Amino acid sequence: MELLAFGDTGWGDELFYATLMTIAVSITAMFIGFLFALIFTPLKLSKNKFLNFIANSYTTIIRGVPELLVIYLFFFGGTGAVMFVASIFGYNEYIEINAFITGAFAIGIISGAYSTEVFRGAIQSIDKGQFEAANVLGFNKFGKFFKIILPQTLRLAIPNLSNVWQITLKDTSLISVTGLVEIMRQSYIAAGSTRDPLLFYSFAAVLYLLLTFVSMKLINRLEVKFSRGY
Amino acid sequence: MDLELMINSLPKLLNAAVITLKLLSVSLIIGLFIGLFFAILRLNKNILINRFAYGYSYVFRGTPLLVQIFIIYFGLGQIEYLRSTVLWVILKEPYWCAIIAFALNTGAYTSEILRSAFQTIKPGIIEAGKSLGISNKVIFYKIQIPIAIRQSLPAYGNEIILMMKGTSLASTVTIMDLTGVAKYIISTTFKPIEVFIVAGGIYLFMTFIIHNVIKFLEKKYSFN
Protein backbone atom coordinates (compact mmCIF):
# COMPACT_ATOMS: atom_id res chain seq x y z
CA MET A 1 0.00 0.00 0.00
CA GLU A 2 2.88 2.36 0.76
CA LEU A 3 3.69 2.15 -2.95
CA LEU A 4 0.60 4.24 -3.59
CA ALA A 5 1.47 6.88 -0.99
CA PHE A 6 1.89 10.52 -1.93
CA GLY A 7 5.36 12.07 -1.77
CA ASP A 8 8.79 10.71 -2.58
CA THR A 9 8.20 7.22 -1.24
CA GLY A 10 5.10 6.37 -3.25
CA TRP A 11 3.56 6.78 -6.65
CA GLY A 12 0.35 8.39 -5.43
CA ASP A 13 1.12 11.94 -6.53
CA GLU A 14 2.54 10.81 -9.88
CA LEU A 15 -0.62 8.82 -10.54
CA PHE A 16 -2.75 11.77 -9.47
CA TYR A 17 -1.08 14.06 -12.02
CA ALA A 18 -1.33 11.29 -14.60
CA THR A 19 -5.08 11.13 -13.97
CA LEU A 20 -5.33 14.89 -14.51
CA MET A 21 -3.41 14.39 -17.75
CA THR A 22 -5.86 11.70 -18.88
CA ILE A 23 -8.76 14.05 -18.14
CA ALA A 24 -7.04 16.92 -19.98
CA VAL A 25 -6.30 14.80 -23.06
CA SER A 26 -9.83 13.37 -23.09
CA ILE A 27 -11.47 16.78 -22.90
CA THR A 28 -9.15 18.25 -25.55
CA ALA A 29 -9.76 15.26 -27.82
CA MET A 30 -13.52 15.47 -27.33
CA PHE A 31 -13.38 19.18 -28.18
CA ILE A 32 -11.31 18.54 -31.32
CA GLY A 33 -13.84 15.83 -32.15
CA PHE A 34 -16.66 18.38 -31.90
CA LEU A 35 -14.79 20.66 -34.29
CA PHE A 36 -14.52 17.79 -36.77
CA ALA A 37 -18.20 16.99 -36.28
CA LEU A 38 -19.02 20.64 -36.89
CA ILE A 39 -17.33 20.38 -40.30
CA PHE A 40 -18.45 16.92 -41.33
CA THR A 41 -22.06 16.78 -40.10
CA PRO A 42 -23.21 19.47 -42.59
CA LEU A 43 -21.28 17.65 -45.32
CA LYS A 44 -23.10 14.42 -44.44
CA LEU A 45 -26.48 16.13 -44.54
CA SER A 46 -25.68 18.06 -47.70
CA LYS A 47 -27.46 17.20 -50.94
CA ASN A 48 -24.19 17.38 -52.86
CA LYS A 49 -22.99 13.84 -53.66
CA PHE A 50 -19.32 14.77 -53.61
CA LEU A 51 -19.48 16.40 -50.17
CA ASN A 52 -21.41 13.36 -48.95
CA PHE A 53 -18.67 11.14 -50.27
CA ILE A 54 -15.96 13.06 -48.40
CA ALA A 55 -17.82 12.92 -45.09
CA ASN A 56 -18.73 9.26 -45.52
CA SER A 57 -15.12 8.33 -46.30
CA TYR A 58 -13.98 10.08 -43.14
CA THR A 59 -16.41 8.32 -40.82
CA THR A 60 -16.08 4.93 -42.54
CA ILE A 61 -12.28 4.90 -42.57
CA ILE A 62 -11.88 6.11 -39.00
CA ARG A 63 -14.51 3.77 -37.61
CA GLY A 64 -13.18 0.79 -39.57
CA VAL A 65 -9.48 1.11 -38.74
CA PRO A 66 -8.05 0.35 -35.28
CA GLU A 67 -7.39 3.36 -33.05
CA LEU A 68 -3.85 2.18 -32.43
CA LEU A 69 -3.05 2.28 -36.15
CA VAL A 70 -4.34 5.86 -36.38
CA ILE A 71 -2.20 6.82 -33.40
CA TYR A 72 0.89 5.26 -35.01
CA LEU A 73 0.14 7.21 -38.19
CA PHE A 74 0.12 10.46 -36.23
CA PHE A 75 3.01 9.54 -33.99
CA PHE A 76 5.34 8.62 -36.83
CA GLY A 77 3.84 10.84 -39.52
CA GLY A 78 2.83 13.93 -37.55
CA THR A 79 6.27 15.50 -37.36
CA GLY A 80 6.91 14.89 -41.06
CA ALA A 81 3.60 16.45 -42.04
CA VAL A 82 4.13 19.56 -39.92
CA MET A 83 7.69 19.96 -41.22
CA PHE A 84 6.44 19.61 -44.77
CA VAL A 85 3.89 22.38 -44.24
CA ALA A 86 6.54 24.52 -42.52
CA SER A 87 8.97 24.00 -45.38
CA ILE A 88 6.40 25.48 -47.77
CA PHE A 89 6.62 28.65 -45.68
CA GLY A 90 10.40 28.50 -45.81
CA TYR A 91 11.07 27.08 -42.34
CA ASN A 92 13.47 24.14 -42.55
CA GLU A 93 14.55 23.50 -38.95
CA TYR A 94 13.53 20.31 -37.18
CA ILE A 95 10.19 20.65 -35.45
CA GLU A 96 9.20 18.32 -32.67
CA ILE A 97 5.51 18.15 -31.88
CA ASN A 98 4.44 17.73 -28.34
CA ALA A 99 3.08 14.26 -27.45
CA PHE A 100 0.00 15.89 -25.93
CA ILE A 101 -0.94 17.60 -29.18
CA THR A 102 -0.26 14.52 -31.31
CA GLY A 103 -2.26 12.31 -28.97
CA ALA A 104 -5.17 14.68 -28.50
CA PHE A 105 -5.36 15.21 -32.24
CA ALA A 106 -5.28 11.48 -33.07
CA ILE A 107 -7.95 10.64 -30.50
CA GLY A 108 -9.88 13.78 -31.49
CA ILE A 109 -10.13 12.66 -35.11
CA ILE A 110 -11.43 9.27 -33.97
CA SER A 111 -13.88 10.83 -31.54
CA GLY A 112 -14.98 13.26 -34.25
CA ALA A 113 -16.06 10.40 -36.53
CA TYR A 114 -18.34 9.04 -33.81
CA SER A 115 -19.65 12.51 -32.90
CA THR A 116 -20.43 13.20 -36.55
CA GLU A 117 -22.60 10.09 -36.71
CA VAL A 118 -24.36 11.06 -33.48
CA PHE A 119 -25.15 14.60 -34.65
CA ARG A 120 -26.25 13.39 -38.07
CA GLY A 121 -28.65 10.94 -36.46
CA ALA A 122 -29.98 13.54 -34.02
CA ILE A 123 -30.59 16.21 -36.68
CA GLN A 124 -32.22 13.73 -39.00
CA SER A 125 -34.64 12.60 -36.33
CA ILE A 126 -35.96 16.13 -35.77
CA ASP A 127 -39.40 16.51 -37.22
CA LYS A 128 -39.48 18.30 -40.57
CA GLY A 129 -42.32 20.41 -39.26
CA GLN A 130 -39.91 22.13 -36.87
CA PHE A 131 -37.85 23.44 -39.78
CA GLU A 132 -40.96 24.51 -41.64
CA ALA A 133 -42.48 26.15 -38.58
CA ALA A 134 -39.28 28.11 -38.02
CA ASN A 135 -39.40 29.30 -41.63
CA VAL A 136 -43.03 30.27 -41.36
CA LEU A 137 -42.37 32.25 -38.17
CA GLY A 138 -39.72 34.19 -40.07
CA PHE A 139 -36.62 33.02 -38.25
CA ASN A 140 -33.42 33.74 -40.11
CA LYS A 141 -30.87 30.96 -40.66
CA PHE A 142 -28.95 31.67 -37.47
CA GLY A 143 -32.00 31.96 -35.30
CA LYS A 144 -33.46 28.80 -36.77
CA PHE A 145 -30.32 26.84 -36.06
CA PHE A 146 -29.48 28.16 -32.59
CA LYS A 147 -32.96 28.65 -31.14
CA ILE A 148 -34.88 25.75 -32.67
CA ILE A 149 -32.70 23.02 -34.14
CA LEU A 150 -29.70 22.99 -31.79
CA PRO A 151 -31.58 22.65 -28.48
CA GLN A 152 -33.57 19.71 -29.83
CA THR A 153 -30.47 18.15 -31.38
CA LEU A 154 -28.62 18.34 -28.06
CA ARG A 155 -31.45 16.65 -26.21
CA LEU A 156 -31.36 13.73 -28.64
CA ALA A 157 -27.58 13.66 -28.95
CA ILE A 158 -26.48 13.76 -25.32
CA PRO A 159 -27.17 10.09 -24.45
CA ASN A 160 -25.14 9.00 -27.50
CA LEU A 161 -22.47 11.64 -26.91
CA SER A 162 -21.96 10.17 -23.47
CA ASN A 163 -21.07 6.90 -25.20
CA VAL A 164 -18.62 8.81 -27.40
CA TRP A 165 -17.11 10.37 -24.29
CA GLN A 166 -16.63 6.91 -22.74
CA ILE A 167 -14.97 5.65 -25.92
CA THR A 168 -12.74 8.73 -26.04
CA LEU A 169 -11.77 8.43 -22.39
CA LYS A 170 -10.79 4.78 -22.85
CA ASP A 171 -9.00 5.46 -26.12
CA THR A 172 -6.66 7.90 -24.40
CA SER A 173 -5.01 4.88 -22.73
CA LEU A 174 -3.60 4.09 -26.19
CA ILE A 175 -1.68 7.37 -26.31
CA SER A 176 0.65 5.84 -23.71
CA VAL A 177 2.50 4.21 -26.64
CA THR A 178 3.64 7.67 -27.73
CA GLY A 179 5.18 8.41 -24.33
CA LEU A 180 2.66 10.91 -22.98
CA VAL A 181 2.54 10.38 -19.22
CA GLU A 182 -1.12 9.65 -18.56
CA ILE A 183 -2.57 6.93 -16.31
CA MET A 184 -1.43 4.00 -18.46
CA ARG A 185 2.09 5.32 -19.07
CA GLN A 186 2.60 6.24 -15.40
CA SER A 187 1.43 2.77 -14.31
CA TYR A 188 3.82 1.26 -16.83
CA ILE A 189 6.72 3.27 -15.41
CA ALA A 190 5.74 2.49 -11.83
CA ALA A 191 5.21 -1.20 -12.59
CA GLY A 192 8.62 -1.34 -14.25
CA SER A 193 10.54 0.24 -11.42
CA THR A 194 8.78 -1.49 -8.53
CA ARG A 195 8.22 -4.85 -10.26
CA ASP A 196 4.66 -4.80 -9.06
CA PRO A 197 2.60 -4.69 -12.27
CA LEU A 198 -0.47 -6.32 -10.72
CA LEU A 199 -0.92 -3.53 -8.18
CA PHE A 200 -0.35 -0.65 -10.57
CA TYR A 201 -2.40 -1.92 -13.49
CA SER A 202 -5.24 -2.84 -11.15
CA PHE A 203 -5.03 0.64 -9.66
CA ALA A 204 -5.09 2.09 -13.18
CA ALA A 205 -8.25 0.08 -13.83
CA VAL A 206 -9.79 1.54 -10.66
CA LEU A 207 -8.86 5.07 -11.76
CA TYR A 208 -10.51 4.54 -15.15
CA LEU A 209 -13.61 3.10 -13.49
CA LEU A 210 -13.75 6.12 -11.22
CA LEU A 211 -13.46 8.47 -14.19
CA THR A 212 -16.21 6.70 -16.15
CA PHE A 213 -18.43 6.54 -13.07
CA VAL A 214 -18.10 10.23 -12.19
CA SER A 215 -18.49 11.38 -15.78
CA MET A 216 -21.63 9.27 -16.18
CA LYS A 217 -23.15 10.97 -13.14
CA LEU A 218 -22.33 14.41 -14.53
CA ILE A 219 -23.67 13.56 -17.98
CA ASN A 220 -26.91 12.23 -16.50
CA ARG A 221 -27.43 15.66 -14.94
CA LEU A 222 -26.86 17.30 -18.33
CA GLU A 223 -29.36 14.92 -19.84
CA VAL A 224 -32.00 15.98 -17.32
CA LYS A 225 -31.20 19.61 -17.97
CA PHE A 226 -31.53 19.36 -21.73
CA SER A 227 -34.68 17.26 -21.70
CA ARG A 228 -36.65 19.58 -19.43
CA GLY A 229 -39.94 20.32 -21.05
CA TYR A 230 -40.35 16.75 -22.27
CA MET B 1 4.27 7.90 -52.31
CA ASP B 2 6.46 4.85 -52.27
CA LEU B 3 4.48 2.35 -54.33
CA GLU B 4 7.24 -0.23 -54.20
CA LEU B 5 7.13 -0.32 -50.40
CA MET B 6 3.35 -0.65 -50.50
CA ILE B 7 3.52 -3.62 -52.87
CA ASN B 8 6.38 -5.25 -50.96
CA SER B 9 4.69 -4.91 -47.59
CA LEU B 10 1.35 -6.24 -48.78
CA PRO B 11 2.18 -10.00 -48.45
CA LYS B 12 3.70 -9.45 -44.98
CA LEU B 13 0.64 -7.53 -43.85
CA LEU B 14 -1.74 -10.10 -45.33
CA ASN B 15 0.05 -12.84 -43.39
CA ALA B 16 -0.32 -10.76 -40.25
CA ALA B 17 -4.01 -10.25 -41.03
CA VAL B 18 -4.44 -14.03 -40.70
CA ILE B 19 -3.19 -13.77 -37.11
CA THR B 20 -5.62 -10.91 -36.48
CA LEU B 21 -8.47 -13.05 -37.79
CA LYS B 22 -7.39 -15.99 -35.62
CA LEU B 23 -7.29 -13.80 -32.52
CA LEU B 24 -10.66 -12.37 -33.44
CA SER B 25 -12.45 -15.65 -34.12
CA VAL B 26 -11.14 -17.52 -31.07
CA SER B 27 -11.94 -14.67 -28.69
CA LEU B 28 -15.39 -14.15 -30.23
CA ILE B 29 -16.30 -17.82 -29.78
CA ILE B 30 -15.15 -17.89 -26.14
CA GLY B 31 -16.67 -14.45 -25.57
CA LEU B 32 -20.05 -15.58 -26.90
CA PHE B 33 -20.24 -18.35 -24.29
CA ILE B 34 -19.14 -15.99 -21.52
CA GLY B 35 -21.67 -13.43 -22.72
CA LEU B 36 -24.52 -15.94 -22.82
CA PHE B 37 -23.60 -17.20 -19.35
CA PHE B 38 -23.60 -13.72 -17.82
CA ALA B 39 -26.74 -12.67 -19.70
CA ILE B 40 -28.57 -15.60 -18.10
CA LEU B 41 -27.17 -14.58 -14.69
CA ARG B 42 -28.43 -11.04 -15.29
CA LEU B 43 -31.96 -12.38 -15.80
CA ASN B 44 -31.75 -14.25 -12.51
CA LYS B 45 -33.99 -12.85 -9.76
CA ASN B 46 -31.42 -13.43 -7.01
CA ILE B 47 -29.96 -10.00 -6.26
CA LEU B 48 -26.47 -11.27 -5.44
CA ILE B 49 -26.10 -13.19 -8.69
CA ASN B 50 -27.60 -10.28 -10.56
CA ARG B 51 -25.20 -7.78 -8.99
CA PHE B 52 -22.24 -10.03 -9.69
CA ALA B 53 -23.09 -10.25 -13.38
CA TYR B 54 -23.70 -6.51 -13.55
CA GLY B 55 -20.39 -5.82 -11.78
CA TYR B 56 -18.54 -7.97 -14.29
CA SER B 57 -19.97 -6.16 -17.28
CA TYR B 58 -19.53 -2.75 -15.59
CA VAL B 59 -15.85 -3.29 -14.82
CA PHE B 60 -14.95 -4.68 -18.23
CA ARG B 61 -16.90 -2.01 -20.10
CA GLY B 62 -15.66 0.81 -17.91
CA THR B 63 -11.93 0.19 -18.23
CA PRO B 64 -9.78 0.32 -21.36
CA LEU B 65 -8.97 -2.97 -23.06
CA LEU B 66 -5.28 -2.09 -22.80
CA VAL B 67 -5.45 -2.15 -18.98
CA GLN B 68 -7.16 -5.52 -19.08
CA ILE B 69 -4.49 -7.03 -21.31
CA PHE B 70 -1.69 -5.60 -19.15
CA ILE B 71 -3.26 -6.91 -15.92
CA ILE B 72 -3.55 -10.39 -17.40
CA TYR B 73 -0.20 -10.47 -19.19
CA PHE B 74 2.08 -8.57 -16.78
CA GLY B 75 0.02 -8.72 -13.60
CA LEU B 76 -1.01 -12.33 -13.24
CA GLY B 77 2.53 -13.59 -13.82
CA GLN B 78 3.48 -11.88 -10.59
CA ILE B 79 1.37 -14.20 -8.43
CA GLU B 80 3.75 -16.96 -7.31
CA TYR B 81 0.96 -19.45 -6.77
CA LEU B 82 -0.24 -19.18 -10.36
CA ARG B 83 3.21 -19.97 -11.68
CA SER B 84 3.10 -23.40 -10.06
CA THR B 85 -0.29 -24.40 -11.44
CA VAL B 86 -1.27 -25.82 -14.80
CA LEU B 87 -2.75 -22.43 -15.71
CA TRP B 88 0.77 -21.08 -16.12
CA VAL B 89 1.17 -23.05 -19.35
CA ILE B 90 -1.52 -20.79 -20.81
CA LEU B 91 -0.71 -17.57 -18.95
CA LYS B 92 2.93 -17.41 -19.96
CA GLU B 93 1.95 -17.21 -23.63
CA PRO B 94 1.19 -13.65 -24.77
CA TYR B 95 -1.11 -15.10 -27.42
CA TRP B 96 -3.40 -16.74 -24.86
CA CYS B 97 -3.23 -13.79 -22.49
CA ALA B 98 -4.46 -11.57 -25.29
CA ILE B 99 -7.24 -14.01 -26.13
CA ILE B 100 -8.34 -14.22 -22.47
CA ALA B 101 -8.47 -10.44 -22.23
CA PHE B 102 -10.36 -10.10 -25.53
CA ALA B 103 -12.79 -12.87 -24.64
CA LEU B 104 -13.57 -11.38 -21.22
CA ASN B 105 -13.96 -7.93 -22.78
CA THR B 106 -16.22 -8.98 -25.62
CA GLY B 107 -18.08 -11.26 -23.19
CA ALA B 108 -19.06 -8.23 -21.13
CA TYR B 109 -20.45 -6.36 -24.14
CA THR B 110 -22.11 -9.50 -25.50
CA SER B 111 -23.83 -10.15 -22.18
CA GLU B 112 -25.36 -6.67 -22.33
CA ILE B 113 -26.48 -7.18 -25.92
CA LEU B 114 -28.04 -10.57 -25.16
CA ARG B 115 -29.64 -9.35 -21.94
CA SER B 116 -31.46 -6.55 -23.70
CA ALA B 117 -32.45 -8.98 -26.45
CA PHE B 118 -33.92 -11.39 -23.90
CA GLN B 119 -35.78 -8.57 -22.20
CA THR B 120 -37.38 -7.36 -25.40
CA ILE B 121 -38.94 -10.76 -26.15
CA LYS B 122 -42.68 -10.28 -25.84
CA PRO B 123 -44.07 -12.14 -22.80
CA GLY B 124 -46.92 -13.37 -25.00
CA ILE B 125 -44.51 -15.61 -26.90
CA ILE B 126 -43.36 -17.34 -23.73
CA GLU B 127 -46.94 -17.59 -22.46
CA ALA B 128 -47.98 -19.14 -25.76
CA GLY B 129 -45.26 -21.74 -25.33
CA LYS B 130 -46.41 -22.46 -21.79
CA SER B 131 -50.04 -22.84 -22.76
CA LEU B 132 -48.99 -25.32 -25.45
CA GLY B 133 -47.50 -27.39 -22.64
CA ILE B 134 -43.85 -26.92 -23.64
CA SER B 135 -41.40 -27.32 -20.77
CA ASN B 136 -39.47 -24.29 -19.50
CA LYS B 137 -36.18 -25.69 -20.75
CA VAL B 138 -37.46 -26.23 -24.26
CA ILE B 139 -39.04 -22.76 -24.25
CA PHE B 140 -35.67 -21.30 -23.35
CA TYR B 141 -33.60 -23.21 -25.90
CA LYS B 142 -36.07 -23.41 -28.77
CA ILE B 143 -37.96 -20.14 -28.42
CA GLN B 144 -36.13 -17.56 -26.34
CA ILE B 145 -32.57 -18.14 -27.57
CA PRO B 146 -33.36 -18.11 -31.33
CA ILE B 147 -35.42 -14.94 -30.95
CA ALA B 148 -32.73 -13.31 -28.80
CA ILE B 149 -30.06 -14.16 -31.38
CA ARG B 150 -32.12 -12.60 -34.13
CA GLN B 151 -32.80 -9.49 -32.03
CA SER B 152 -29.15 -9.02 -31.13
CA LEU B 153 -27.65 -9.53 -34.61
CA PRO B 154 -27.26 -5.82 -35.53
CA ALA B 155 -25.70 -4.90 -32.19
CA TYR B 156 -23.53 -8.00 -32.22
CA GLY B 157 -22.29 -7.12 -35.71
CA ASN B 158 -21.06 -3.80 -34.33
CA GLU B 159 -19.42 -5.63 -31.46
CA ILE B 160 -17.55 -7.91 -33.89
CA ILE B 161 -16.19 -4.88 -35.73
CA LEU B 162 -15.21 -3.18 -32.45
CA MET B 163 -13.50 -6.38 -31.34
CA MET B 164 -11.61 -6.63 -34.63
CA LYS B 165 -10.23 -3.17 -33.96
CA GLY B 166 -9.54 -4.25 -30.39
CA THR B 167 -7.31 -7.11 -31.50
CA SER B 168 -4.82 -4.48 -32.65
CA LEU B 169 -3.87 -4.11 -28.97
CA ALA B 170 -2.35 -7.60 -29.10
CA SER B 171 0.64 -5.86 -30.69
CA THR B 172 1.39 -4.23 -27.32
CA VAL B 173 2.18 -7.65 -25.83
CA THR B 174 4.63 -8.67 -28.57
CA ILE B 175 2.15 -10.42 -30.87
CA MET B 176 2.84 -9.63 -34.51
CA ASP B 177 -0.71 -9.11 -35.70
CA LEU B 178 -1.67 -6.74 -38.51
CA THR B 179 -1.05 -3.61 -36.42
CA GLY B 180 2.13 -5.06 -34.93
CA VAL B 181 3.64 -5.75 -38.35
CA ALA B 182 2.44 -2.38 -39.64
CA LYS B 183 4.16 -0.64 -36.74
CA TYR B 184 7.34 -2.63 -37.36
CA ILE B 185 7.40 -1.66 -41.03
CA ILE B 186 6.67 1.99 -40.17
CA SER B 187 9.46 2.15 -37.60
CA THR B 188 12.02 0.59 -39.96
CA THR B 189 11.13 2.54 -43.11
CA PHE B 190 9.65 5.78 -41.66
CA LYS B 191 6.94 5.75 -44.30
CA PRO B 192 3.83 5.90 -42.08
CA ILE B 193 1.36 7.03 -44.71
CA GLU B 194 2.08 4.25 -47.21
CA VAL B 195 1.91 1.52 -44.57
CA PHE B 196 -1.22 3.05 -43.06
CA ILE B 197 -2.96 2.96 -46.43
CA VAL B 198 -2.16 -0.73 -46.98
CA ALA B 199 -2.83 -1.92 -43.41
CA GLY B 200 -5.87 0.32 -43.04
CA GLY B 201 -7.15 -0.96 -46.38
CA ILE B 202 -6.92 -4.55 -45.15
CA TYR B 203 -8.80 -3.64 -41.95
CA LEU B 204 -11.46 -1.81 -43.94
CA PHE B 205 -11.84 -4.80 -46.23
CA MET B 206 -12.38 -7.08 -43.24
CA THR B 207 -14.90 -4.62 -41.76
CA PHE B 208 -16.70 -4.56 -45.09
CA ILE B 209 -16.93 -8.38 -45.21
CA ILE B 210 -18.15 -8.66 -41.60
CA HIS B 211 -20.69 -5.91 -42.18
CA ASN B 212 -22.13 -7.67 -45.22
CA VAL B 213 -22.20 -11.13 -43.63
CA ILE B 214 -24.19 -9.71 -40.70
CA LYS B 215 -26.53 -7.92 -43.11
CA PHE B 216 -27.07 -11.17 -44.98
CA LEU B 217 -27.80 -13.08 -41.73
CA GLU B 218 -30.20 -10.35 -40.62
CA LYS B 219 -32.13 -10.72 -43.85
CA LYS B 220 -32.09 -14.51 -43.68
CA TYR B 221 -33.42 -14.66 -40.14
CA SER B 222 -35.84 -11.76 -40.34
CA PHE B 223 -39.33 -12.55 -39.10
CA ASN B 224 -41.26 -11.52 -42.16
User: Tens of pLDDT along A18-52?
Assistant: 999 999 999 999 999 999 999 999 999 999 999 99
- pLDDT-derived band at B44 (thresholds 50, 70, 90) equals confident
Give the mean pLDDT of A197-205: 93
A1 has a pLDDT exceeding 70: no
Q: How distant, in Å, are the alpha carbons of A197, B64, B109, B124, B175 from that of B73?
A: 9, 15, 21, 47, 12
Boundaries of every domain in chain A: 2-226
pLDDT band with cut points at 50, 70 and 90 for residue B178: very high
How much of chain A, in percent, has pLDDT values that exceed 70?
A: 99
Instruction: For B173, name the nearest residue in chain A, comparing CA atoms only.
Output: A177
Q: From its phi and psi, is residue A195 left (phi > 0), alpha (psi between -120 and 50) or beta? A: left
ipTM of the assembly?
0.88
Residue type, B150: R
Chain A partners of B75 at a C-beta cutoff of 8 Å? 197-198, 201-202
- Per-residue confidence (pLDDT) for residue A91, from 0 to 100: 80
The reported pLDDT for the residue numbered B18 is 96
| pLDDT tens track for B59-88 | 999 999 999 999 999 998 888 787 788 888
Residue A142 in contact with residue A148, Cβ under 8 Å? no
Count other Cβ atoms within 10 Å, centred on residue A61. 16
- Residue A148's pLDDT is what? 86
Helix (H, G, I), strand (E, B), or coil: what is residue A108? helix
Question: Mind listing the pLDDT tens digit for each residue in A116-131?
Answer: 999 999 999 888 898 8
CB of A191 within 8 Å of a chain B CB? The answer is yes
The candidate with the shortest Cα–Cα distance to B210, out of B165, B177, B168, is: B165
A2-226, superfamily in CATH? MetI-like (1.10.3720.10)
- Using a CB-CB cut-off of 8 Å, the residues of chain A touching B79 are 198
Q: Which residue of B has its CA nearest to A205?
A: B63
Q: Is the CB of residue A220 less than 8 Å from the CB of residue A165?
A: no
A6: region left, alpha or beta (phi > 0 left; psi from -120 to 50 alpha): beta
How close A7 comes to chain B (CA, Å)? 25
pLDDT of B203 reads: 96
On average, the pLDDT of chain B sits at 91
What pLDDT is recorded for position A141?
85
Question: Does any CB of chain A come closer than 8 Å to the CB of residue B174?
Answer: no
- pLDDT tens digits, residue range B119-166? 888 889 889 999 999 998 999 888 888 888 888 998 999 999 999 999
Contact indicator for A32, A109 with CB cutoff of 8 Å: yes
The count of domains in chain B is: 1
Q: Which residues of B are less than 8 Å from A22 in CB distance?
A: none
**Chains A–B, number of C-beta pairs less than 8 Å apart:** 113
Most A CBs within 10 Å, among B13, B54, B168, to test the A interface: B168
- Domain with residue B7: its CATH number is 1.10.3720.10
Question: Containing domain of residue B32, as a range?
Answer: 3-220
- Is B25's pLDDT higher than 70? yes
Inter-chain CB proximity B165 and A66 less than 8 Å: yes
CA-nearest of B63, B62, B88 to B76 is: B88
